[in-house]
């Protein structure tokens, strides 16, 4: 069984407080975009995990695809062994949630492949135990997120009338480092309120708290954001803790790859 595993961008991201459990309370809007990894799972006599595409460093036992399988196997021991193959297109350390989407996709495939009859509510619980933004990929529609990112409410935002330009500069941003740079605080105006306003107002009000420290450490990223605005973006921002940036343009806008470094690439979605 094969499924495409999407990624997301953040429309605004506020880090509100440090929680007693070590996580951070946040507010954001997750929005799915059509840049996909591909996950294939087939029954086999011995569990294996393989990958192609973008190189995945580190021990594969830490991959969320493997952890997702182990999570369900613990509760459903009758589930057979499988071969999981991941073709990686979504860059890592880019603020796009690619790994979270992959792990959640494994949960959904296994549920269907072995007729586990896991409800949506149960899948959300499993996904939350994998990672804070994993539950979003159960919904895979625009969602307002609070808590540590796992409390989700679908919202009515449709950007299909625009072009979204997604830029990845080939820089890996460590999420743990990014959080260490912040001083959490409650904002005067919530993202939930700002997102309801006309998109033309977002530039002045819809902020990502990670931009200031990440831009300071990596000035190239701020140049890319400014380049998106200079080409006519209505709204531009960094996604998550970076390093990917995106611009929302009127449909039909001709967009050039930012003139910064040759390593920068752009995908039109």
Catalytic residue among 37, 102, 133, 209: 133
Distance between CA atoms of 94 and 96, rounded to whole angstroms?
5
Q: What is the largest CA-CA distance in the chain?
A: 57
What is the helix, strand, coil percentage profile of the chain, to 5? 30, 30, 40
Q: Is 45 a catalytic residue?
A: no
| CA dihedral of residues 207, 145, 180, 56 (deg, nearest 10) | -110
Measured in whole angstroms, the distance separating CA 87 from the mean position of its chain's CA atoms is 17
How many Cα atoms occupy the beta-carbon half-sphere of 182 within 13 Å?
Answer: 24
Based on the residue annotation, tell me whether 133 is a catalytic residue of this protein.
Answer: yes
- Residue 30 β-bridge partners: 10, 143
**Cα separation, 45 vs 81, whole angstroms:** 6
**Tokens found for residue 33:** 């975009």
Active site amino acids: 8, 133
């Amino acid at each position: 069984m094969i499924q495409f595993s999407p990624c997301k961008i953040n429309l605004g991201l506020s880090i509100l407080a440090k929680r007693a459990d070590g996580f951070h309370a946040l507010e954001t809007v997750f929005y799915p975009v059509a840049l996909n990894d591909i996950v294939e799972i087939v029954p086999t006599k011995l569990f294996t995990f393989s990958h192609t595409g973008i190189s995945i460093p580190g021990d594969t036992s830490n991959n969320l695809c493997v952890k997702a399988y182990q999570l369900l196997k613990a509760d459903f021991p009758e589930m057979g062994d499988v071969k999981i193959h991941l073709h990686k297109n979504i860059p890592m350390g880019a603020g796009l949630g690619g790994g979270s989407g992959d792990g959640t996709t494994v949960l959904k495939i296994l549920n269907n492949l072995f007729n586990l009859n896991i409800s949506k509510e149960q899948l959300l619980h499993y996904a939350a135990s994998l990672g804070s933004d994993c539950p979003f990929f159960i919904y895979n529609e625009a969602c307002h997120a609070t808590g540590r990112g796992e409390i989700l409410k679908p919202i009515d935002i449709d950007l299909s009338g625009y072009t979204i330009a997604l830029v990845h500069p080939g820089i890996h941003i460590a999420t743990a480092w990014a959080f260490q740079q912040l001083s959490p605080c409650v904002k005067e105006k919530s993202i939930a309120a700002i997102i309801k306003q006309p998109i033309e107002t977002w530039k002045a009000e819809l902020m990502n708290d990670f931009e200031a420290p990440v831009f300071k450490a990596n000035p190239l990223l701020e140049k890319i954001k400014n380049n998106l605005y200079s080409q006519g973006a209505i709204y531009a921002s960094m996604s998550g803790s970076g390093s990917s940036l995106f611009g929302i343009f009127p449909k039909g806008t001709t967009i050039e790859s930012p003139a910064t470094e040759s390593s920068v690439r752009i995908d039109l979605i």
